[in-house]
Homo-oligomer: A and B are copies of this chain.
Amino acid sequence: MEEKKNPKHCGACLTKLPIFKSLSEEQFDLVNQIRCRVKFRPGEVIFKQGTAMTHIIVVNEGLVKIYLEGINNRNLLLRFARPVTIIGGPGFFTDFRNHVTTMAVEETSACFIDINTLSELIKVNKDFSADLLKWVNTHTINNYRKLIELTQKGMHGRIAGALLYLSEEVFNERNGDIPIKRQDLADLTAMSKESAIRILKEFKDEHIITVEGNTIIINNKQKLAQISTTG
C-alpha cells in the first residue's frame, strides 16, 4: 500500500463523475486539495466491514469488488467497480461505519476523500446532495433486483445473469472473456463454489461458454439471456 499526495490534478477524474459535476470551482479545488491517492495490490482490503467510515474513495485505476461479510465466513458479492467510480456506503449520515468490505481485485489506485469534507459539501451545495440521493436510490433499485435474483431464480439463471453482468459491465473492454475466480462467481450468485463450477460445466457442455483456465468466454449471449430470465 503505497501513498502519494496529489500526483496530478484530479480534474480529468472528477469530471467523469456525474455526481461531482454540481460542485463549484472552489468546492472542486477543495476536494483536490484534501484528497490522497493510494495504490492497492490484488487482495488488499480498502475498507473493512465494521470499521469506522472515515473516508470515501474514488477508484482511478484497476478493479475492486464490494461484498458483505455474512455468516460462517461466507461472503455475498454485491458488485464490482471500475474507474471512475465513487465508493461510499450506507454508513454515511447514519452510523458512519462501513457496512461492506471493499477489496482490490486488480492493481488499483484510489483517491481518499474524508467524510467531513464531503459533509461540508453536502451542506453547502444543494445540487450535490440531490445527486447523491439519486445515486443512493439507484443502488437501492439494484439491491431490489439482486434480492429477487438471488431468492427467486435457480442456480442456472443466477449464473447466466452473473456472466452477462460480468461480460457487459465489468470486463466489457475485453473481447468478451471473463477472468473470474470461481469463489467470486459463487459469492456473486449466493451458492457454493462447487455448484457454480457444475453449472459452468453444463454451460460448457452445451457450448454456451468456453472455459480456458481461469477465464470464461461467452459463445452464446442470447442463450444466456434466455436462461437468465426463463430458467
Which chain A residues (136-155) contact chain B, with CB distance < 8 Å?
Answer: 136-141, 143-144, 146-148, 150-153
A91 within 8 A of B: yes
Segment from A21-29, A66-74, A105-113 that makes contact with B:
A66-74
A148 to B148 alpha-carbon distance, docked (Å): 13
- Measured CB to CB, the nearest residue on chain B to A150 is B151
- Measured CB to CB, the nearest residue on chain B to A49 is B144
A100 within 8 A of B: yes
| Copies in the assembly, this chain | 2
Segment from A34-42, A122-130, A217-225 that makes contact with B:
A122-130
Given contacts A126-B123, A132-B133, contact A140 B90 (CB under 8 A): yes
Majority-rule SS of A interface residues: helix
The reply to whether A148 and B92 form a contact with Cβ atoms under 8 Å apart is no
Residues of B within 8 A of A91 (CB): 137, 141
A123 to B138 alpha-carbon distance, docked (Å): 19
Given contacts A71-B152, A126-B123, A129-B126, contact A147 B143 (CB under 8 A): yes
The reply to whether B133 and A123 form a contact with Cβ atoms under 8 Å apart is no
The reply to whether A140 and B141 form a contact with Cβ atoms under 8 Å apart is no
Residues of B within 8 A of A74 (CB): 152
B129, B132, B141, B150: the one contacting A150 at CB < 8 Å is B150
B71, B90, B92, B133: the one contacting A129 at CB < 8 Å is B133
Residues of B within 8 A of A143 (CB): 140, 143-144, 147
B93, B132, B136, B144: the one contacting A68 at CB < 8 Å is B144
**9 residue pairs from A and B, CB less than 8 Å apart:** A70-B152, A76-B147, A76-B148, A94-B138, A122-B133, A136-B136, A136-B137, A140-B140, A150-B151
